[in-house]
Amino acid sequence: MTQRYSIELIEEHEAANFYSIRLEEKELSELECFFEKFPEGCGYDEEIDTLIAWLDHIGEHGAFERYFRQEGRYGDGVSAIPIETSHLRLYCIRLSDRILVFGNGGVKDTATWEESEELSEYVETLMDTSRFIASRRRDGTLFLVDKEIIGNLKFVRDEKK
């Protein structure tokens, strides 16, 4: 199955901009879809509040490597916001200290993301996106300038089902 999507700027902050994947057939970005899964009173309020505090901190201070837990393959930049006591995982690509691209996430109820059907799809989408971005940066059709991603931000991937 072919998946079409784009990367869109969703929040501008002093130190870092937040982008998110938006699937062609969806109205909400993947970051918005993540938060929609955890409405107030869902049992994860404290963890969501902690996650939001991390996002605010990153927006104010920058997307430094130490704030993230490596989740994909070495060198692809796919990470999760590290909430040590949390079962929630929000996945992203850290392109620089000033640019994050968010995917989706969910409850991590398996030993690894690879064992979770839901989480593995989110991480694999980000891994492919990271690869696409790297390829476009190499061929000069996509650039990172300060807090912006400039270039073709539409992607197509074949889902592995």
C-alpha 43/C-alpha 130 separation (Å) is 32
Is the pLDDT assigned to residue 37 strictly greater than 90? Answer: yes
Is the pLDDT assigned to residue 161 strictly greater than 60? Answer: no
Give the pLDDT of residue 73: 76
C-alpha 133/C-alpha 97 separation (Å) is 16
Give the pLDDT of residue 61: 96
Q: What is the pTM of this model?
A: 0.93
Is the sign of the CA dihedral 66, 67, 70, 74 positive or negative? Answer: negative
Query: Mean pLDDT in the chain?
Result: 92
Q: What are 69-123's pLDDT values in tens digits?
A: 888 777 788 999 866 667 899 999 999 999 999 999 999 888 888 898 999 999 9
- Quickly state the pLDDT bin for 158 (edges 50, 70, 90): confident
